[in-house]
Amino acid sequence: MERTPVRYHVLHETTYDYGSPVSLSQQQLHLSPRILAWQQIEEERVDIVPAPTWRRDGFDAFGNPVAWIAFHAPHESLSIRSAMTVAVIPHAPDDLAASLPWETLRDRLAYAATPPLPEDLDAARFLFESPHVRVKRELADYACDCFPPGTPVLVGARTLMAKIFREFEFDPEATTVSTPVMEVLEKKRGVCQDFAHLMIACLRAQGLAARYVSGYLLTHPPPGKPRLVGADASHAWVSVYSPGFGEGWVDFDPTNDLLPDTQHITVAFGRDFADVSPLRGIILGGGGHEPEVAVTVTPLAAGSPGFPAEGEAAGAAAA
């Protein structure tokens, strides 16, 4: 069956207005989306003001596109505007029950004297603790009722996703980027990043491989209301290792209790948020500053140009 791609124009704008001049800055950008079996990049452009003194493009340890930039001249602001046209093909799996029993996969991934299967080597680095993800007994206890004996791993992951969605409240004021996952488990409040970290921690505590996925999600305005520029935001979800499904990984979105498909645009994946932060680095000077971030995801009609002319993106999104 032919699968028709869904096309989007994505605009991600980040602006820093520093309290005092920055004399030196080095930054790492995870803004370019991955090319995947179900996702193709038609056009892409990253505009940076002021122009960096030095820039290098490449890939990080997880195969994500990344740009490293440096500024050696004083500057009082920084603007990074990432624009892209992306086509996403339907790819959500049909039969989660066909995945391996979770204990079988757990035992297969566990450390043993025998060499691991080649396809399991990459998954092994997503089994352990990372800066934002703990592997604790309390997390295993929270997830254990989702994984009765013999449960297919993807069925258990779907049950865990639904449990987090049901028992946790979305609250953008409850956490920060550094809130520990154990605190999220206790307070049962947070945002998409927190829910992704929690689900990953629960899966790793069960001995399963899970990774953090960053990207964009198309959101829908209330009925009869226009789409707002900047109303969309960077999003986070979870990918679970399951040999034999697609490229060996299946995505789950605990914030929305659904399997990501054509409304999710993948940018990068890693062990947790620290590996794939859209923009991170160091500066000398600057005083107090907080970035202003706006993301707009605009669906494109078949045959329409990917990059609107300058000034047209807002009109297209608000139409």
**Domain ranges within the chain, ordered by starting residue:** 6-89+277-318, 96-275
pTM metric for this prediction = 0.91
Q: Which long-range contacts (CB under 8 A, 24 or more apart) does 119-126 make?
A: 119/243, 119/248, 120/243, 123/209, 123/241, 123/248, 124/209, 125/271, 126/204, 126/209, 126/210, 126/211, 126/241, 126/271
Q: Crossing angle of helices 192-205/153-167, nearest 10°?
A: 140
Q: What is the mean pLDDT of residues 259-276?
A: 96
Architecture of domain 6-89+277-318: Sandwich (2.60)
Report how far residue 224's alpha carbon sits from residue 88's, in angstroms, rounded to the nearest whole number. 26
pLDDT tens, residue by residue, 128-154: 999 999 999 999 999 999 999 999 999
Q: For the domain 96-275, what is the CATH code?
A: 3.10.620.30
Query: DSSP class of residue 319?
Result: -
Q: Could you tell me what percentage of the chain is helix, strand and coil, using 3-state DSSP and rounding each to the nearest 5?
A: 25, 35, 40
Is the model's pLDDT at 315 over the cut of 50? Answer: no
Return the higher-pLDDT residue of 72 and 304: 72
Report how far residue 213's alpha carbon sits from residue 240's, in angstroms, rounded to the nearest whole number. 10
